[in-house]
Structure 1
């Protein structure tokens, strides 16, 4: 029996600098979404804006979830020219970022 592939997800939380114009934020998000068609190891890309009513977001406004086939896929993404170029463009506009990589784990009771 073939072992099932264990994909890895990367979750990113972004806190943009206050002086970053909203239209620039939107353009950067659009550019980020293009990475899924440029980086072979990036299998899916999802994003959303904070919509919590609890106000526990610590000023993080955007969340991104990227899916890779495995940890090697993340490593390939990290050095891919399209990612590096995007990284160089977005970082000056970020006050803070959180990155968490995880393997989804089934939980059965």
Structure 2
């Protein structure tokens, strides 16, 4: 049985950067991305990680980002926020492939 979560919404992004983008530039982009949590009020938390899978099922995606927003409306505010738009302009030319999933965390209750 699923119980719909109230409130916050998570955004998961999978990034595949272009091969010609130097690793140090990727690191600069990530630092700028992480700073959005300090600039966008509706963005409550920001986490990232780099692929370490041994299964080779990542289809070229190298980085995962997980952002938590106060609500679905908070994502809409984030999308048009000047800090996000500025980051997007800097980052997009270096992204080869992107997947974005927004979801409300939903606890799964296993009835006995």
Deviation at 1:84, TM superposition (A): 0.1
TM-score by length of 1: 0.95
Matched position secondary structure for 1:13? strand
Q: Output the CA distance in 2 between the equivalents of 1:28 and 1:55.
A: 25
Deviation at 1:6, TM superposition (A): 1.7
TM-score by length of 2: 0.93
State the match for 2:57 in structure 1. Answer: 56
Question: Could you list the runs of 5+ residues in structure 1 that have no partner in the other structure?
Answer: none
Matched position secondary structure for 1:65? strand
Deviation at 1:5, TM superposition (A): 4.3
Q: How many residues are matched?
A: 106
Q: Output the CA distance in 2 between the equivalents of 1:79 and 1:55.
A: 35
Q: Output the CA distance in 2 between the equivalents of 1:22 and 1:68.
A: 28
Which deviates more from structure 2 when the two are superposed, residues 4-13 or residues 90-99? 4-13
Q: CA RMSD in A?
A: 0.9
Q: How does 1:1-109 map to 2 (within 5 A)?
A: 5-109=6-110
